Amino acid sequence: MIEFETPKPIVKQQYLLQTVAEEMMRPHSRYFDEHEHEIPWDYINFMHQAMQAVGAGSLAPASGNGDKEKEPDDKKKKYPPIGYQSLAFMLEMLSWGDVGIYLVTPGGSLGAAAVEATGTPEQKKKFLARFQAEEPAFGAMAMTEPQCGSDTSAIRTSAVLDEETNEWVLNGEKIFVTAGKISLEDSDGLVVIWATIDPSAGRAGMRPFVVEAGTPGVSVTKLEHKMGIRASDTASIVLQDARVPFENLLGSPEIPKKETKGFKGAMATFDATRPLVAATGIGVSRATLELLKELLAQQGVKIRYGLPRQKLTSVERDVIDMEIMLESAWLMVIKAVWLADNRKPNSLEASMSKVRGGDIVTKITQKALEIMGPIGYTRDHLLEKWFRDAKITDIYEGTGQINRLVVARNILGYRGEQLR
């Protein structure tokens, strides 16, 4: 059953992460927001060393195999897995520091999550090992294309097997790839490219391919200039006759054309990572609420808890409502990652937490600006930056609208073609 007490290993982890967020992220938030695409190497190198020290080189732990607090051998007590729970706490705290800087944390990120969700044991060992190496390494996943975003059945990037060389030849274009540039420029980096081996099969023809940095025919053609998360690169990637080894297709090399493992693999990746995206929004929300209450206190406004709503001021009611939204969203994240850690289906809970996380962070940051008025709108504080950073939580890894569809289909028992 789910326990509400934070596991001790996570408590210890949070002490370190809070120091990182306070000392290495928050003081530099404005600088990296104003110097878009400049890489925060001091943060990256420190985090890489810190993660290696605790054995967490990849940001995507093996499902159900999270860290366990050690006990003396004579007790033989086994603690429940907390891998994704640990990540949720980590990402919430780092996003409290700065969500843009967090997005360039070394590790596999969504790319490693795709390897974990769809790869064979041998592929996981091979591709995830680079994130445990002495030098920082980066990973990304590319699915969105110019003609399709949420409708993954419309993917046109193709993968054709060259039987003479036993290589896959990839052609196509991917857009809005988070950390795409840094992953392809890093010598040990990789991008998981979703392509179709059979366009007539729709989603059933989708397959993930590991494209490693330095692969000929792969190029970054554009970097987006964004409203928020400006420390992180968002790239367009073009593949022109890019050749990858046969074994870089994630999953079994036996590939029947008429099956749906490819699409299910993509969804399994999102089921693992959508709660983590929600956690980043919660970190931004918490930062916003804390600063808002601090600024209000400086003006003599103190929140009086425990009074009937009719006796509270409008500002007090707003702040309390924001705190309720924050706590409820966090509980949904905890449930979703607990299910992931325990190898239980969590598609419904993952999408629900993603919807809620994206919803509350946009509402909380906007309401904070409204309450503070001109003070919130100026650059004297980070409120306006957090407002700009917030919206992406509702957009990437499945928009709020798409995740609402996923929730509705799960609750009503409809297939995709039955409810759009």
Q: Which domains does the chain have, with CATH numbers?
A: 8-118 (1.10.540), 138-257 (2.40.110.10), 262-412 (1.20.140.10)
| Residue 60 DSSP symbol | S
Which residue in 277, 98, 102, 104 sits closest to 185, CA to CA? Answer: 104
413, two tokens: 């028992």
C-alpha distance from residue 1 to each of 86, 331, 341 (Å): 17, 14, 12
209: enclosing H helix or E strand: strand 206-212
pTM, to two decimals: 0.90
| Residue 239 DSSP symbol | E
232, two tokens: 């992180």
Kindly report the CA angle at 140 between 394 and 204, in degrees rounded to 5? Answer: 80
Of the chain, the end-to-end C-alpha distance in Å amounts to 34
| Amino acid (1-letter code) at residue 406 | V
Residue by residue, pLDDT tens for the chain (420 residues) are 566 788 888 898 899 899 999 999 999 999 999 999 999 999 999 999 888 776 555 665 544 333 334 444 444 445 567 888 999 999 999 999 999 999 999 988 889 988 988 899 999 999 999 998 889 999 999 999 998 877 777 889 999 999 999 999 999 999 999 999 999 998 899 999 999 998 887 777 889 999 999 999 999 999 999 999 999 999 999 999 999 999 999 986 555 544 455 555 566 677 888 999 999 999 999 999 999 999 999 999 999 999 999 999 999 999 999 999 999 999 999 999 999 999 899 999 999 999 999 999 999 999 999 999 999 999 999 999 999 999 999 999 889 999 999 999 999 998 877 887
Q: 80 CB contacts (<8 Å, ≥6 apart)?
A: 68, 341, 342
397 is catalytic: yes
48, two tokens: 């890489």
Q: Which residue of the set 116, 224, 384, 397 is catalytic?
A: 397
Residue with tokens 């490219």: 193
The pLDDT of residue 154: 82
Helix, strand or coil for residue 177? strand
Buried residues in 221-237 as b, exposed as e (16+ CB within 10 A): eeebebebbbbbbbbbb
Helix, strand or coil for residue 235? strand
